[in-house]
Chains A and B, each alone.
Chain A
Amino acid sequence: MKSLSLKNLAKTYFDAYKGEHVTAIRDVSLEVPAGEFVSIVGPSGCGKSTILNMVAGFIPHSGGEILVGGTPVKGPGPDRGVVFQSFALFPWKTVLDNVGFGPKMRGVPKAERDAIAREYLALAGLSHAADRYPNELSGGMQQRVGVVRALANEPDVLLMDEPFASVDAQTRMTLQDELSRIWEERRPTVVFITHDVPEAVFLANRVVVLSKGKVLAEVEVPISRPRVWDRLVADDEFKDLSNQVLALVRSA
């Protein structure tokens, strides 16, 4: 696990259609210490995905610095695991081979990487699905594989962009319970993007509210762990914090 630090990060897109430059991120500074879970929330278009894509190295940044464990980010790399909203599983690989993909790229021999993949699949209760193909799984199961695939590569930072946005409400709560449990077990450094405020609060140590390419506020979430929905649905502290963040987002 390593820390992530954004220093005066900025991003300007060139909008080819309008023929003009668009500032998506004005000036964002953010410290995520190693082993911390940070959620970023904000209204649509405020620049959440842009931040994540820059941290992942998928798109270049126009200004400022991105440091992972003190080292500047240049392009994508296995030190930053990514979980996509669209799952982005390889349809031609079995679940086992999807999860073993990162280790395979590191040159881990077949038997060993299968063992790693099986261990991580067990973590998400997916052992029975190892030999299936992604399109044979439900959306919820596919995203479990997506999370596990990123974790199995043991990244320093885990980046998630609305990973649970495309599954039904019931499944979403289960996935949130599971992610919370996995985080408590393994303590990875996580940046989690969502516009679901209760989700952000439920999962995070700290919620960052973004507005028009700037940080509007940061809200600490001191709720004790382990966190499970069974307990938190009726928890006053959780409700107060959620309402506080919701008010911030709506003012954004």
Chain B
Amino acid sequence: MNALLPLWSFVVRTSVKWPILQTLAPFVPVVALWWAVAAWGPFPPAFFPSPADVVAKFVSLMEKGILPEYLGDSVARLAIGAAVGIGLGVPLGLWIGLNKSAHRALWPVLLFFQAIGDIAWLPILIIWFGFGLTTMTFVIVYTVLFPVILNTVLGVRSVRIELHRAAQSLGASPARIVGEVVVPGALPNIMTGLRNGLGYGWRALIAAEMIVGTSGIGFLMFDARRAGSVTEIVLGMIVLGILWYIVDAWILAPIEQATGRRWGLVTQ
């Protein structure tokens, strides 16, 4: 036991120096277990590939350029969905949140359409637009849009009335109040909406790619099933996980950090 102590302190020291190791460390036992089960061999390798198989597959798909291309397609679709979702969702949310009659009229409609989640649209979309980009774009924009709208509305309505009043009695016009008070006040909720929207959108996109796609990570996985390549499917799953981690850690978290935390609007 004592012999392990220096090892442990080495692990702690290096992981503090290299934060990436801190992120990867929890996966070590997972991969080890996976490797052990694969090596132990109750399942045939074609059925349960080892980590080494997946890495080899990764290298070969990278070399062939298939993985970069599909990854690019999926990420581009997510980016478009996010951009359109924010571009439409935030202004709509602000309007519905600020306008009492708009809220009364549209809130039930929003809840209704929010409930018809993403994939439930696929059958009718395939009839309308066929198997292709339009259908996929619709699904992802749809999925991103509703959480963004709904959370923006909640955010707008959560801005305390005193802040509106303070701004008014300091001479702010209604338009300035939107920019100076409502948007920053709603920002933590808008970020939540975006986080949820992108999370749902990402999953909806993969599902849509499986069903209607001709490229993308979802397509890669579903196509691999046809070829019976479990290795490729597992690789696709890992790519999905890593990609989401990157979106979260490199894009969403820093924005939240830079805004809500410092203002005290988000608890640590």
With A133-B262, A133-B264 already in contact, the answer to whether A106 and B171 are too (CB < 8 A) is yes
B-contacting residues, A76-109, CB 8 Å: 76-78, 80-82, 84, 86, 88-92, 101-102, 105-106
Query: Once the chains bind, are A133 and B169 in contact (CB under 8 Å)?
Result: no
The prevalent SS among residues of A at the interface is loop
Of the candidates B168, B171, B172, B264, which one forms a contact with A91 in the assembled complex, judged by CB atoms under 8 Å apart? B264
Residues of A within 8 A of B163 (CB): 88, 90
Cβ-defined contact, B170 with A149, below 8 A: yes
Which of B167, B169, B184 contacts A56, CB < 8 Å? B169
Is B263 engaged at the interface, CB distance under 8 Å to the other chain? yes
- Once the chains bind, are B184 and A77 in contact (CB under 8 Å)? no
Indicate if B86 sits at the interface (CB-CB under 8 A): no
A153 at the interface (CB under 8 A from B): yes
Say whether B166 contacts A91, CB under 8 Å. Answer: no
A92 touches B170 (CB 8 A): no
Q: How far is the CB of A146 from chain B (nearest CB, A)?
A: 8
Nearest CB of chain B from residue A246's CB, rounded to whole Å: 30
Taking a contact as CB atoms under 8 Å apart, the answer to whether A92 and B162 are in contact is: no
Would B263 and A77 count as touching, CB distance under 8 A? no
Q: Does B15 contact A (CB under 8 A)?
A: no
Chain B residue nearest to A89 (CB atoms) is: B166
- Contact-residue size bin, chain A (C-beta under 8 Å from the other chain): 20 to 34
Give bound CA distance, A133 to B263, whole Å.
6
Complex interface residues of chain B between 52 and 106 (CB less than 8 A to chain A): none
* CB-nearest residue of chain A to B183: A92
Is B25's beta carbon under 8 Å from chain A? no
A14 at the B interface (CB under 8 A)? no
B160 within 8 A of A: yes
Q: Which residues of A contact B172 (CB under 8 A)?
A: 101, 105
- Asked if B229 CB lies within 8 Å of chain A CBs, one says no
Contacts of A135 in B (CB 8 A): 263-264
Q: Which B residues are CB-close (under 8 A) to A58? A: 165, 168
Q: Mark A98-132, 1 if CB is under 8 A from B, else 0.
A: 00011001100000000000000000000000000
A89 contact set on B, CB distance < 8 A: 166
CB contact list, B163-181 vs A, under 8 A: 163, 165-173, 176, 180-181
A134 at the binding interface (Cβ < 8 Å): yes
What residues on A are CB-neighbors of B184 within 8 Å? 90, 92
Chain A residue numbers with a CB within 8 Å of B173 are 105
Q: What is the minimal beta-carbon distance from A204 to any residue of chain B, in angstroms?
A: 22
- Contact bitstring A134-149, B, C-beta under 8 A = 1, else 0: 1110000000000001
Contact across chains for A86 and B169 when beta carbons are under 8 A apart? no
Determine if B263 and A82 form an interchain contact, defined as CB atoms under 8 angstroms apart: no
With the chains together, A101 CA to B184 CA distance in Å? 14
In the assembled complex, the Cα of A40 lies from the Cα of B185 at a distance in Å of 33
Partner of A92, one of B169, B171, B259: B259
CA distance A57 to B181 in the complex (A): 19
Q: Are B263 and A105 in contact (CB under 8 A)?
A: no
CA A202 to CA B98, docked complex, whole Å: 42
Residue of B nearest to A106 (CB): B171
Tell me the bound Cα distance from A252 to B173 in angstroms: 40
- Indicate whether B265 reaches chain A with its CB closer than 8 angstroms: yes
Once the chains bind, are B180 and A82 in contact (CB under 8 Å)? no
A13 to chain B, nearest CB (A): 16
* Nearest B-chain residue to A56, judged by Cβ: B169
CB-based contact A56/B180 at 8 Å: no
Does A84 lie within 8 Å of B166, measured CB to CB?
Answer: yes
A105 surroundings in chain B (CB, below 8 A): 167, 170-173, 176
- The answer to whether B162 and A91 have CB atoms under 8 Å apart is no
Taking CB atoms, residues of chain B closer than 8 Å to A84 are: 162, 165-166
- Whose C-beta in chain B lies nearest to the C-beta of A159? B169
Contact at B165–A82, with CB atoms within 8 Å? yes
| Chain A residues packing against B (C-beta within 8 Å) | 56-58, 75-78, 80-82, 84, 86, 88-92, 101-102, 105-106, 133-136, 149-150, 153, 155
Which 9 A/B pairs are nearest by Cβ-Cβ distance?
A135-B264, A78-B171, A76-B168, A88-B162, A92-B184, A105-B171, A102-B170, A88-B166, A91-B263
| Sample (5) of A-B pairs whose CB atoms are under 8 Å apart | A76-B169, A81-B170, A89-B166, A105-B170, A106-B171
Additional A-B contacts beyond A75-B168, A78-B169, A90-B180 (7; CB < 8 A): A56-B165, A86-B162, A90-B181, A92-B185, A101-B170, A105-B176, A134-B264
